[in-house]
Chain A
């Protein structure tokens, strides 16, 4: 079933061995097949970066756009034809650095699109520069002595800016991620699914996660369910700086744009 959604004539893909992006694509396509959406009425968009090559491998109409701008392009597609289903693949640099303004305005408008952010904490395609989500102290080619800038929390950003559905999972949590994407696709308004994922080539290599499995172990160990995270915070339990909460953070019904009329 999912194979129908792939452009077999585009293989081989450009992703490195051990990259998390393929897993995430797989989960997204699984979620979409569960929705029963018509392939001819589904449009994928992306900006620039490793994440943004994903639509090129999917057999639908797709716009591979400019760096950071995919949400603005998606706004045009969705507002011009609200009957289309619109999904954006993006990365941490694309979404939170150069595309930060479009991101928060997409959330504010609550435009009816689903954004899947492959957050690998690094600019992978250009060879491993620091991004707005590179954790403090972590090494990249532009933070050779450790990142000194505090990172963005993409989930908090999307919630504050007004998105209707916000979740965070990792490339380890395949089932939960698929379910979250499914929920995001079906929630009217702006949905953000942040997916923490491994980049063994550019991030892992410089940060002691050389093997893809090293980072999968890190994700498995440090991803803490939202409810448990909140309990730990309440009880004043010591939380490792490497840890982060996962789960569904928001599901609400603020006013939306780009939803087809009921008629």
Chain B
């Protein structure tokens, strides 16, 4: 089974880190092959950021995502640049507060940024909420693998916050506004 996942948002949201965590979860804890790539500009904050992961049971040769079946979109600009030409059977997780348009494919709206800010007190973990939602809204990664990969990747002292964010995302992945 092969999955191509594309993440997009603005710089500073943790778009690249999300892809790194997902790739790590798949490669190290779900025993799949994974390749992570990205497109980024000179901005460290702001600007449209894109990263991608391929997860496959087979070795991954061509490393770039070309026809994603899964999207995680966290800004309107990111939607316009990387999310508006999806294939029909794709699924898109979008931050429902920050993305105004909706795709033609199946989607799940997750109010990740506002939930991160209001319920968890830190909007920085919005990307982890989106990753959590991936485990319940799609089958690209298992919850157990994601949890381990998150613990590997986040700064010391923030583990509880991030795991809470992941759990919140898992709930929202089921409950969120969807088509």
Answer yes or no: A and B touching, Cβ < 8 Å: no
